[in-house]
């Protein structure tokens, strides 16, 4: 019953606020659309607590630097975006173009200034990421990106992509790693939710100026290390490092080569 109630609330809120945001997108500027989306996100976080029994504890906000910066987050749950967006007044975010398949959502994403890139990556996706992230940077907005580019299962990780490093280098912005164990309670895109207290933890910012390999190694170690600790804290099990697995795209390419 809990899962059913949450999913009903999810779709009612998504459709209602989605239509409102689509109409607001007709107005000049971003303010009206952003105001509606902030309310939508807040209501979703409240619905997670009220109907799914998933409450959030947020740690480390005192570590956030002033001015513009990049948040690089672990991505285990469809709820990650709601939980993280709710922590900021104005947040640009990197998302895959799969979201544009939903009616009117492409218009809303464009009005919000979301950074929409091709899920398959490559040079075109990198160019789009650079161009659209530059717009957010000029406006002094904080940017959220998921370096793995995919939803990972608990205990698994994907190869960290270099897009976050290109933004870090090009815009000379610090990167704040964000660890989470929300996937324990709302796994990936699962219908079934488990009541409990999930944790988001902002970690020490990575200062600007590091070379690519050092930056990516440091970022992955911070996010994966703390995420493993948060999972162990919530489950009472020993800290277990995540296992590297292939992304769906990499699996498809490997299967095509083997065929």
Q: Give, for all 259 residues of the chain, the pLDDT tens digit.
A: 889 999 999 999 999 998 999 889 888 888 899 899 999 999 999 999 999 999 999 999 999 998 889 999 999 999 999 999 999 988 888 877 666 566 667 778 777 777 776 655 556 656 666 666 677 777 778 899 999 988 999 999 999 998 899 889 988 889 999 999 999 999 998 989 999 999 999 999 999 999 999 999 999 999 999 999 999 999 999 999 999 999 888 888 888 888 7
C-alpha distances (whole Å) from 50 to each of 2, 16, 32, 131, 190 are 9, 19, 27, 40, 18
Q: pLDDT digit string (tens) for 207-247?
A: 999 999 999 999 999 999 999 999 999 999 999 999 999 98
Cα–Cα distance measured from residue 90 to residue 191, given in angstroms and rounded to the nearest whole number = 29
pLDDT at position 197 is 97
- Measured between alpha carbons, how far is 144 from 133 in angstroms, rounded to an integer? 10
User: What is the per-residue pLDDT for 122?
Assistant: 55
Q: Are strands 142-145 and 156-157 parallel, antiparallel or unpaired?
A: unpaired
Q: Is 7 exposed, middle or buried (0-12, 13-18, 19+ CB in 10 A)?
A: middle
Overall residue count recorded for the chain in this entry: 259
For residue 64, the model assigns a pLDDT of 95
Question: Can you read off the two tokens belonging to residue 173?
Answer: 């912005």
Phi-psi map region of 7: left, alpha, beta (phi>0 left; psi -120 to 50 alpha): alpha
**Token pair for 220:** 């992955």
pTM for the full predicted model: 0.89
């Amino acid at each position: 019953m809990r899962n059913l109630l949450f999913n009903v609330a999810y779709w009612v809120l998504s459709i209602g606020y989605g239509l409102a945001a689509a109409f607001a997108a007709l107005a000049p500027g971003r303010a009206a659309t952003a105001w509606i989306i902030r309310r939508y996100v807040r209501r979703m976080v409240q619905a997670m607590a009220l109907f799914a029994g998933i409450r959030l504890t947020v740690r480390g906000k005192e570590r956030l630097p002033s001015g513009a910066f990049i948040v690089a987050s672990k991505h285990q749950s469809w709820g990650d975006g709601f939980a993280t967006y709710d922590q900021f007044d104005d947040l640009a975010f990197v998302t895959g173009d799969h979201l544009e398949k939903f009616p009117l959502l492409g218009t809303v994403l464009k009005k919000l200034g979301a950074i929409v890139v091709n899920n398959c990556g490559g040079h075109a996706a990198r160019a789009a990421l650079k161009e659209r992230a530059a717009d957010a940077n000029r406006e002094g907005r904080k940017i959220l990106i998921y370096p793995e580019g995919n939803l990972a299962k608990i205990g698994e990780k994907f190869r960290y992509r270099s897009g976050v490093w290109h933004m870090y280098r090009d815009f000379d912005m610090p990167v704040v790693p964000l660890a989470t164990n929300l996937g324990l309670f709302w796994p990936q895109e699962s219908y079934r939710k488990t009541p409990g207290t999930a944790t988001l933890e902002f970690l020490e910012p990575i200062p600007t100026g590091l070379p690519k390999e050092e930056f990516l190694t440091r970022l992955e170690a911070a996010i994966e290390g703390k995420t493993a600790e948060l999972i162990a804290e919530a489950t009472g099990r020993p800290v277990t490092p995540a296992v590297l697995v292939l992304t769906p795209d990499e699996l498809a390419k490997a299967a095509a080569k083997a065929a």
